[in-house]
Structure 1
């Protein structure tokens, strides 16, 4: 199943039935529909405005919008370069969004995929973004999957990067990262160098530490550095980040195109999860990228080519 490395090929979506297993080819495309979602009553009380950067190739990108959502501990800044490249290649405006409790967006004690989806649905409505492509990495991937299954009319298609619609424990790295960041905050450090030294036992790889430390800010010259993300809130939300809110693919299904990209060195989308992909997303396509979990930063060119090829098939 890890042979799809030369371009994007449709694969067979296993649909599992109680008494037997049938393999059916991915069906022909459905036409795009206008976004006509009727919001859940609960959404209006707890949605948060999301900060974003718009990349539109100096106003030249006029096509249907694309949203790109970062992963846990990330921000819209992580996707700046790839957003600019995709806006140029596809002539479509790219909205790089900060999810709640990340980047420049607000903080709230509730952090799970339902509220992340509601925030992003409200963002689409506020900015009148229709026929959008939703791209998400890791936490962002589960967010766009949640949105697609809650209301398929909210988007034209999705691209989920290195995550699957299953309940699965996060890699043990993430609790260690949180522990290290809390140690940095408790030490009230004055420099990035000091923060890096404290964090090193908890995040051995320099690129990972550099990624985590992009969240450090100084509110005034005399103040110690602190994380702009609410580390303690996110620490208590790790179990929710391992969860997936949709449990029954017989009740919720997304019958539009969905691309799943997985890292060849990552465990987040195992072969065992592929039947689940097929049940929730019958028209899914799968492609392997030579990378670990951080596909967009580790292999941006392969990611860019995969996204462009997938989306140009709809033109």
Structure 2
């Protein structure tokens, strides 16, 4: 039914009622506009780092901060690569790889036991893991330092791995436990009736279905380990065991900061995380959206 008034027509349904959503769909697109504003605010720091890394140190403050330099240079990147950044990159990659591998391995097995084996003792273990989320990293740095010294790992790359694993396991277990609990019980019963044990259940059922959650915890823990500054600062001393965050300090002199060189170093240090996110973006979004349905 269509009612006319003054030459205009108002759409309505068969019962004569006007469609309330038709007018709202023609309203101003506020959500896309807010998305564009958010994208600009989030992208501008990356853009600023890039254009600043193309400036000479002497004329860093000249020109508009919104526009790229008229004569861009790549000398800052050459200086960064020649200052030992490759060694620091390998150090960070070594620490991140071992830390994330141990976190995911221990967290995955612990999450399966907590989610699938009902027991009061196991619930107590899960509560202990959750208590780890309430302990700030800064509050435990002195006991961590004493333990690392007693273990004889001080001033080595291996000193950075145990504390990183200890602080990464609680959240990993929490995410994986909730994800595994959302797997239908019928699938576990089917494997059990087929004669499969825990090893087959983990390999054939839980591991494939938990891939989005595993990718999520891998990216999260890799980001935390890659950007960690406190552990390398306290637990290492020699320059040959520096990681990327600690190595960025060398661009700060006694009387000033080499801002273009620092921006080039920061931009290069973020490339592995950006590539990891691009490669695993779909799995990451799926893991963030799932696992908390109950």
Interval of TM-score (by shorter of Structure 1 and Structure 2): under 0.3
TM-score (norm 1): 0.24
* Greater share of residues in strand: 1
* Higher RCO (CA 8 Å, separation ≥ 6 residues): 2
- CA radius of gyration, larger in: 2
